[in-house]
Structure 1
């Protein structure tokens, strides 16, 4: 399959497991289910390995041993008529590990074909929730903030650009908030903050890429994680059909892990969406 590119344009890291072989009993013919044959499976997990590479901790990556074990259970377990079904079940299992996307190829080299051939295979690509296009449109909450280069104007410009990529958007009033700095960090100018809600047909990572593009257009720099910024657009919450999407992926944590502790997020959110919920609790 072609390489998978994230919405940010960066090539996703990959964990590849190839040539996983086991005897299964899949096929439309009775003798295939009775006698069985060898199946070979290739799995590519599109993910982000930077956190694991830095920590050298298995808990921060996907265990290919677990992925292999789950796939083996499916290959040797309940028989399916079609290897398309087997590929789909293996992809579903692999996505449950937290991968951004998975590619699965199931080879059936002993398929009952009367002609000379070397292999028969089916390949599928399935996207995880962070890359999948929402159906129906997702409900999102975005925090807007600035404390550099005329913050009021920056928030207005950011909100205008954000309104062009969201549907049915509503924005709160702006608020002036003291900067929350890390221990030992110098003081910063006050922030101007607001919240916008709306709908999007972009995936979570697709929307994140758009938010970062707008920030970049307004001169946002990212040298200091807790530093002042011209424009800050935070994806606070992303819901599909009322279901809040959760993710602890290092590329995007959902919902925002500190939103519930920030008055400058919760108060303006309650202003435009008084019946809203965050992590299952009423925001009011």
Structure 2
């Protein structure tokens, strides 16, 4: 069962109808919208970034109603529904009712309305194809904005976040009691000032990638945190956690008691002498991607589903999930 966000009785002027005067003079339309999504994260964090803004949805509906021109309110409702799904991947489905209280009827009536429901699986085959194949302007605009958004911003690694942002960290160990080490490292991150632990993946047993022969298998884990620390401050923190767990840097890809890497930071690109984010090899490492996908099945890395990247990774068959 999904949680719901409802907007009812949104009133605005539109220019829709089969008669010419309807497209030139305009008339009032009323829209009800119901969004199906998971609100668990928002309820837990009390943070607006973890939910869908109903104000943004209302603005989007108004844009479609006021800027497009359709003969049928069926097409209007379908366009609104698809635009909403396209606007935020967290929305699983939406139900849209369009009321046309001044429809050109000769009889007395209270209202004329239609209701459509569209789910995310309905989006791909006809992402922006409406009616006879025309693409409404609002959808073209949204496509352009989405393409621009895919260019991740470059971030100053010394600049703290102005509000809490999310980061994904990858942990690994193949010396000593690795299971206890990972548990202790997660506890240290959880207790660190300026960090909130949001989620942890199951453990994975993995084969070593690179480095000397005859290494032990690794235990790997991925965690998601929220922080306002700058990227370099977060790097200082994870390196301190490594040192507290006797990490020694003597050999590249050699055995280690603990390795903690910053995989992502607020969807930003960071390129400094000390830190590169997204982590340069994360997209090719199933020992990172698979635990990450177990923790968050809808996670994306550079716009690609993490679960898809994991299947393509060369070491995919060498990762074993530990319950």
TM-score, normalising length: structure 2? 0.45
Equivalent residues in 2 for 1:1-284 (5 A)? 129-165=156-192, 166-182=195-211, 185-239=212-266, 244-284=267-307
Aligned equivalents of 1:163 and 1:169: distance in 2?
Answer: 9
Q: Is the 8 A contact 1:141 1:198 kept in 2?
A: yes
Which has a greater percent of helix? 2
Cα distance, 1:251 vs. partner?
Answer: 0.6
Unaligned runs of 5+ in 2: 1-153, 308-323
Q: Which residue of 2 aligns with 1:27?
A: none
Structure 1 residue ranges, 4+ long, deviating more than 2 angstroms after superposition? none
Distance in 2 (alpha carbons) for counterparts of 1:186 and 1:283: 29
Q: Is contact 2:262–2:279 with CA below 8 Å preserved after alignment?
A: yes
Q: Distance in 2 between matches of 1:168 and 1:257?
A: 24
Residue aligned with 2:261, SS: strand
Q: CA deviation at 1:250?
A: 2.2
Q: Distance in 2 between matches of 1:201 and 1:272?
A: 22
SS of the residue corresponding to residue 145 of structure 1 reads strand
Give RMSD over aligned pairs. 1.4
Distance of 1:168 and 1:217 partners within structure 2: 19
Deviation at 1:272, TM superposition (A): 1.6
The Cα shift of 1:168 comes to: 4.2
CA distance in 2, matches of 1:220, 1:254: 22
Aligned to 1:160, the other structure's residue is in SS state helix
SS at match of 1:163: helix
Structure 2 distance, partners of 1:247, 1:200, is 16
Mark the runs of 5 or more structure 1 residues left unpaired by the alignment. Answer: 1-97, 99-127
Q: Over residues 214-265 of structure 1, what are the superposed CA-to-partner deviations in whole Å (9 max), with x where a residue is unaligned?
A: 10011000111211100011100001xxxx1112322101100001111111
Q: Measure the CA separation in 2 of the matches of 1:279 and 1:187.
A: 34
Query: For this pair of structures, how many residues does the alignment match?
Result: 152
| SS of alignment partner, residue 250 of structure 1 | coil
CA contact (8 A) 1:179 1:187 kept: no
Aligned partners of 1:172, 1:235: CA distance in 2, in Å?
Answer: 15
Aligned counterparts of 1:238 and 1:207: Cα–Cα separation in 2: 10
Q: Distance in 2 between matches of 1:266 and 1:152?
A: 19
Counterpart contact for 1:140–1:236, Cα < 8 Å: yes
| Structure 1 residue 276, shift from structure 2 partner | 1.6
CA distance in 2, matches of 1:157, 1:168: 13
